[in-house]
A and B are shown apart, each in its own frame.
Chain A
């Protein structure tokens, strides 16, 4: 069944069609959220939010055939909102000297401590990027969306999306080279070959 047919059925309230969409895209949505936020206990809730908002607004989708870009676009926006909330919350935590619960349970599954460290730094680095560039970078490179799909997901023009992708890539590289953990990771991995 094609995406546009599924969307049409979901708009009528068909739960089976929603199940198909869930099976098809839940992993990609989760991966997108994790790429931005890192391993986190809030990921499940955010995946729920993405699909629930899709379920509520299925009837209003402009291009039902572009379902994947739509869901991933909602996911990066949810992640951006979560990051903003965390930043705000972090200020209060610092103000009152509270400690924040550490995230990254999933990182423990990575055996190499250097890689784990590099990944944590990379997640933090992505969190500091301008929102549009971060979203464009993740959708384009981590989720392999085409520039056209990125523009659909983010609601940008094609040229703006391409510019955002290039800017995001440039910024990630520049900042990664300045981070000691990522720089050493890049050096060893590039020297060692892909």
Chain B
């Protein structure tokens, strides 16, 4: 829009308004007033203080403004970066951040946020970092019982050898033996996550779980020891003795230490563990764990396979219900352990007549994942032929149609007839 876009009427109205404004300005200033004001300006310009006074006037505002800004910055700083926690030992402020427990008495270290750390006998620990939100602890040797106060912005971590345990409000115990490079974490309450060598991803522990690891890349997760179970024949808690800890890594020692719920080695071939478990199964009747659907849902396939492996594959396949077998088959297939997956599904077909269609369909998927398209097609055909499960019938039909083309291309492949 420009000035020329207005109508004559509008321009006339503007002229009237302007005339009103101008009328106000006529004959207001007489010559005397004009002269007086000039004298005033002259005085103003001749007074060197006038310039300074003006700048001083502005400085009068700068001082409180600067003070206010500094105050706000201080408040923000104190909120964002609160002062570091205070450390007290036996009720007195600690004069150093390196702590050694005596041969018999534990050492209790208190933090000003309400957290409490107990270093058990012969333990060595240092506080590696401290800030307003938490602390970094370094356990050099022995056992540490931690009770970390729950705060919204709490940030605690504990280092033990190559391992790091991230902590939010929780209660747990840690044992570190530098000679055997063995670590135990016993979580009572809250949540921690452990990282270290051999851990592809941080291992999150749930309350009531016990983690046992050493630098070989193997770790075990088992139900947490109760006070009664955790005490050896000498009446000392097993977990408190680092020497006993290193010895407890042998399978035999594990069986002795925890006869009811053994630790679960995750990495070894399942055949070896199966034989161990078979021995254990024959020596005493154990209750098998088969409810793995939630672990599979969380993507912890390795954990499921190792649980099954440890308690005995044979026993698992013979005794677990259908849902457990399906979970195990899924977990094993995702892990690339096709043999175990295959065994679980065959077992499912054999033991549960109502699930034969589902098992056939899953076997088809397994063979398809293996690249045995002809065999997979046969399994899908089998699933289609099952009269009881219509869901898998439809899925199998689609999958079979998909594979028909591939099989034509793979005529020379060594597909195995189902009869075998």
Contact = CB atoms under 8 A, between A and B. Distances in A.
Interface of A: 15, 18-19, 22-23, 26-27, 30-31, 34-35, 38-39, 44, 47-48, 51-52, 55-56, 106-107, 109-110, 115, 118-119, 122, 138, 141-142, 147, 162-163, 165-167, 169-170, 172-173, 176-177, 182, 185-186, 189-190, 194
Given A35-B25, A48-B44, A110-B23, A185 B16 contact: yes
A10 to B, nearest CB: 10
B24 A119 contact: yes
Q: Is the interface of A mostly helix, strand, loop or mixed?
A: helix
B13 A176 contact: yes
Interface of B: 1-3, 5-6, 9-10, 12-18, 20-25, 28-29, 34, 37-38, 40-42, 44-46, 50-51
B12 A194 contact: yes
B37 A142 contact: no
B37 A48 contact: yes
Given A30-B28, A162-B2, A142 B22 contact: yes
B12 to A, nearest CB: 6
A91 to B, nearest CB: 18
Contact of A110 (B2, B6, B24): B24
A26 B1 contact: no
A93 to B, nearest CB: 20
Contacts of B22: 31, 142
Given A166-B3, A167-B1, A190-B12, 19 more contacts: A23-B34, A26-B29, A31-B22, A35-B24, A39-B24, A48-B44, A106-B24, A109-B28, A118-B20, A119-B21, A122-B20, A122-B21, A166-B2, A170-B6, A172-B14, A173-B14, A176-B17, A190-B13, A194-B16
Contacts of B3: 147, 162, 165-166, 169
Contacts of A39: 24, 28
Contacts of A56: 51
B16 A18 contact: no
Nearest to B25: A31
Nearest to B13: A186
